[in-house]
Amino acid sequence: MFRCTQCGWFARVPDRHRAATATCGKCGTGLDVSGRPQAVGDGSLSRALMTSPVPVLVDFWAAWCAPCVMAAPALDQIGRAFPGELLVLKVDIERAPRSAEMHGIRGVPTFVLFSGGMEQARQIGMLPRGQLSEWVARHLASVRAHGGAAAGAW
């Protein structure tokens, strides 16, 4: 499942159509099927968490935070490793303070994995790229094994 960056709608894109141009069935905008992280704000984060049929990894970050900036390539790699299976969202806490407050963000970077709108795991602070990838893979496997809300999408 892929999220439209324009309207937030989720669309299923079969593997055979991923090489071609996929479009959102709701607004007609072209869909990014690469798995690349998407920036979201206060309103769109809540909506994505509640409606996503796949687990969501949220990177709470700030532009002034050097470790946050260093995490960006790792998050891009993680998102591209799980296209359609994991949605990676980036929340700039300076631009989305309500989201940061609602999710109890006290330091950045903070990575939170959600499934079915519920928090499943949290990592505060940057990890080396390999360890961050392992953390995500381990918690995704746990969500799958325990039949998380998104388990049917796997």
In contact, 48 and 56? CB cutoff 8 Å: yes
Active-site choice (4, 24, 27, 65): 65
**Is residue 65 flagged as an active site residue?**
yes
Q: Which residues pair with 111 in a beta bridge?
A: 59, 123
Active-site choice (7, 24, 27, 68): 68
**Cα–Cα distances in angstroms (integers) from residue 35 to residues 21, 31, 89, 108, in the given order:** 15, 10, 10, 23
Dihedral sign (CA 63, 2, 115, 140)? negative
**Cβ neighbour number for residue 60 with a 10 Å cutoff:** 27
**Is residue 7 flagged as an active site residue?**
no
| CA-angle at 34, arms to 29 and 39, nearest 5° | 70
Torsion of CA 49, 141, 100, 108, to 10 degrees: -150
Q: Which residues are catalytic?
A: 65, 68
